[in-house]
Structure 1
Amino acid sequence: MHGTIHLAQTAAQEAARERAYSLPLADFDPGDPELFRSDTHWPYFDRLRREDPVHYCKDSMFGPYWSVTRYSDIMDIETNHATFSSAAWLGGITIRDVAPDLRRESFIAMDPPRHSAQRKTVAPMFTPTHLDQLAINIRKRSAECLDNLPINETFDWVDRVSVELTTQMLAVLFDFPWEDRSKLTRWSDIATTLPGPDGLVATEAERQAELMECAQYFAKLWNERINQPLKSDLLSMMAHSEATRDMDPKNFLGNLVLLIVGGNDTTRNTLSGSLYALSQHPDQFEKLKNNPALIDSFVPEVIRWQTPLAHMRRTALADIEFRGKQIRKGDKVVMWYVSGNRDDEAIERPYEFIIDRARPRTHLSFGFGIHRCVGIRLAELQLKIIWEEILKHFGNIEVVAEPKRVYSSFVKGYETLPVRIAG
């Protein structure tokens, strides 16, 4: 089965490469979500890094935008807040523009100095002491989840493992009512989906209606927390912090969506991606099984290899010449992490999945600089513990068909991943 999957995949990649190298660069639209759903975006970024690393797309479903595709150039944009803004009021952090009346601030969609004050509010969640406490909970829930998986029958790893474990973790982080925890997964998916006939919602109005349900649900919890002593959950931390206790409704929902998506999509899709990566590289799977201590370098390597968020966006605050290109004030600038993580000038043999890589944390998956993911240590901890438990529980997990991927050029993820555990 693995051989058949591999042959079909190779043929698709070869056809994509042919298309990418025959199309004029002026016609490139690397943000087309279909390229990501079909997993055929790679050669487009390979060509851009070599021939046009700062590329202008004049027309797309998201309007015109610049693509920055090299590792070092992305780092330069990330650290130049004076020129390249994350601010929600300019359009925010994704290639998809948000209508002005729907723009909501969150601390990732803010520039200094306001960004730092709100970000610091949730930082205590990710201290070493608190992570040690969370680790006990993560291990218990991981073992229980794996104990309940069927043997010798095909099931969906995304649904039974990736979604279940990350949703449970989110519920713990928010101290969210356990019986309603599936709402968190739904809101996360709704926040990032592209409305349309094949999407989770048909229209933007439907999306906004569900997000308002999210805001109303959390408002009730917020009112409970603000009238209780400070506790160690994200909502209580924000309710009791000077920087966040008086957020307006848009800022409140913006930060909620950020924390839900950040705590859900990235870990969930890396957990699915980790099993898929090992199925594509059986030699590395054997290496891991023979030496479980390699989990420490395997986890950051799979975060690089998967790149769970394909890009982040900035907006130019002034005209600037960047790498010989004239970027104008107001232009949308997209930093393609998925491309930077395959840049052979920054990462040795970037297309290879190497679980004992010497410097596995050389990657852009969590961003860089002040906007680097606040939950990076928790994400790594979850993946580490879950894989320790997987290796204890099972001898072999076989991916039996290609995954179905998400239609998105922002969330690089999986809808389904059919697997089978041999008895």
Structure 2
Amino acid sequence: MHGTIESEKAARQRAAREEAYATPLAQFHPGAPRHFRDDTLWPWFERLRKEEPVHYCTNAPIEPYWSVTKYNDIMHVDTNHGVFSSDSTLGGISIRDAPQGYDWPSFIAMDQPRHAEQRKTVSPMFTPTHLDELAILIRQRTGKVLDALPRNETFNFVDRVSIELTTQMLATLFDFPFDERRKLTRWSDVATALPKSMIVESEEQRRDELSQCATFFTKLWNERVNSEPRNDLISMMAHNDATRHMTHDNLIGNIILLIVGGNDTTRNTMSGSVLALNENPDQFAKLRANPALIDTMVPEVIRWQTPLAHMRRTALADTELGGKTIKKGDRVVMWYVSGNRDEEAIENPNDFIIDRARPRTHLSFGFGIHRCVGMRLAELQLRIVWEEMLKRFERIEVVGEPKRVYSSFVKGYESLPVRVS
């Protein structure tokens, strides 16, 4: 990266550190989206891990919430489903309750036994045998996208590579009309957008666009439910007893879950991998010298990026965690992005090291019953894109500041200017 970008980043991080350590803990709002947009979240979570790893925030424009910031405490919450609920009727999986009218139930926002019943319907998509078949298609498409990139001129990697490849994959998984696939990207962005993100101009616009999404997928559902079973996610749900008779809201909830899960996480880690290797040129040199290190680089970049910064639960009973009493009904936020930088669980967690001994020690996919159903597909896509980029490009240079998403849920990028040679 250019020296000016590096020096500006260093100055921003110094200022953030001073602010985080000067602010009383009682005034902390670690979920403030500005920290994530500006990439200044790190000292806030570092201080919480050191001084108050289970922290109660009352200083936010949303309802008070608990922040759980250390790896083992997050694991405790994520695997203790009897005490910590994901249910959409209690608030769901995000720090902010879904706006009224958008609290569509999906299997990630359900407790047992309904969660497992619905999740099982789509899991055949991600079996090793099917992934082997998808790998051939992913490699063909990746080569085509990379070969079409301009050489020695600046372009937006997020749009030209990350979004394009993940959206092509999503269209395949849904058997969605391929020439209309960018609708999936837009609906994913709209579904997770905060009011100040400028992705939508009003709640009315969000309602209209998600209503179009619901209409489009209802049409696809009706076609699939009335035809022979096929190997796509909609058909799998349409022909399984656990999901065939879902309410309309449940159907749309699951569709949006699968869109966001298949779009945001992979696309933002793909972009993040380019940024990480630019910020750590020694690691890029290591990868160049030994491309087999892609196998350990992929889980390392998933940890380093943490594409979904948190998941939220709601306490079903009074309980104790980290010496604090959490009351029934309290919202509890597991900061995966902080647990992935916990010095007590991961050695040198702030460093990007592509040949870590245990690179899969991370929280980015969650744990327990809600562990990401598509995690192996995400890893496969990342592995292939890097195998193909190393074949084609001597260098993938970041030539400007990334523009990050205004969100403390989706940790990602709107743009990343790069040049390839």
Which TM bucket (shorter chain)? over 0.9
Per the TM alignment, residue 212 of structure 1 is displaced from its structure 2 partner at its CA by 1.3
1:389 and 1:247 map into 2 onto residues whose CA distance is: 41
Number of the residue aligned with 1:240: 239
Tell me the SS of whatever aligns to 1:56: strand
CA distance in 2, matches of 1:217, 1:101: 18
User: In the alignment, which residue of structure 2 is the partner of 1:74?
Assistant: 74
Aligned residue in 1 for 2:35: 35
Deviations 1:33-56, CA, capped at 9 Å, x for gaps: 000000000000000000000000
**Distance in 2 separating the partners of 1:100 and 1:83:** 25
Tell whether 2:152 aligns with 1:178. no
Deviations along 1:276-326, whole A, 9 cap, x unmatched?
Answer: 000000010011111110000000000000000000000011122222112
Give the aligned partner of residue 396 of structure 1. Answer: 395
Corresponding residue for residue 266 of structure 1: 265
CA contact (8 A) 2:86 2:92 kept: yes
Amino acid at match of 1:2: H
For the residue of structure 1 that corresponds to 2:112, the secondary structure is coil
Note the 1:341-380 alignment, pairs <5 A: 341-380=340-379
User: Which residue of the partner structure matches residue 48 of structure 1?
Assistant: 48
Q: Which letter does structure 2 place at the counterpart of 1:67?
A: S
SS at match of 2:258: helix
Q: How far apart are the structure 2 equivalents of 1:172 and 1:390?
A: 22
Letter in 2 for 1:366: F
Distance in 1 (alpha carbons) for counterparts of 2:384 and 2:99: 41
- Does structure 2 retain, via aligned residues, the 8 Å contact 1:89–1:100? no
- For residues 157 and 64 of structure 1, the distance between their equivalents in structure 2, rounded to whole angstroms, comes to 37
Q: 2:203 and 2:88 mapped to 1: Cα distance?
A: 18
> What is the CA-CA distance between 1:248 and the residue it aligns to?
0.5
**Stretches of 4+ aligned residues off by more than 4 angstroms:** none
Q: Distance in 2 between matches of 1:93 and 1:381?
A: 26
Mean Cα deviation higher: 148-157 or 204-213: 204-213
Letter in 1 for 2:373: V
How much does 1:101 deviate? 4.2
Per-residue deviation, residues 360-392 of structure 1 (Å, max 9, x unmatched): 000000000110000000000000011100000
- Residue 243 of structure 1 aligns to a residue whose secondary structure is helix
Pairing 1:125–2:125 present: yes
Structure 1 residue aligned with 2:83: 83
1:117-168 deviations in whole A, cap 9, x for unaligned? 0000000000011001100000000000000000010110001000110000
Q: Which residue of 2 aligns with 1:161?
A: 161
Residue 100 of structure 1: how far off its partner (Å): 5.0
- For 2:202, the equivalent position in structure 1 comes to 203
Q: Residue type of the partner of 1:369?
A: G
The answer (yes or no) to whether the contact 1:156–1:418 under 8 Å persists in 2 is yes
- Check conservation: 1:301, 1:361, Cα contact below 8 A: yes
Partner letter of residue 166 of structure 1? T
Tell me the amino acid that sits aligned with residue 159 of structure 1: D
**Whole-Å separation in 2 of the counterparts to 1:117 and 1:62:** 33
Secondary structure (helix, strand or coil) at the match of 1:244 reads helix
Residue 312 of structure 1 aligns to a residue whose secondary structure is strand
Work out the CA distance in 1 between the residues paired with 2:40 and 2:164: 28
Is it true that 1:308 corresponds to 2:307 in the alignment? yes
Letter of the 1:189 partner, please give it: D
Question: Matched residues in 1 for 2:318 and 2:343: separation?
Answer: 30
The amino acid of 2:254's aligned partner reads N
Residue 3 of structure 1 deviates from its aligned partner by: 2.1
- Unpaired segments of 5 or more residues in structure 2? none
- Name 1:2's counterpart in structure 2: 2
Identity across the alignment (%): 68
Q: Displacement of 1:102 after TM fit?
A: 3.1
1:393 and 1:170 map into 2 onto residues whose CA distance is 25
Deviation at 1:206, TM superposition (A): 2.1
SS of corresponding position for 1:151 = coil
TM normalised by structure 2 equals 0.99
1:62 is aligned to 62
Preserved CA contact (<8 Å) 1:55 1:68: yes
What is residue 194 of structure 1 aligned with on the other side?
A: 194
What residue is the counterpart of 1:338 in the other structure? 337
- On the 8 A contact 1:311/1:409 being kept in 2, the answer is yes
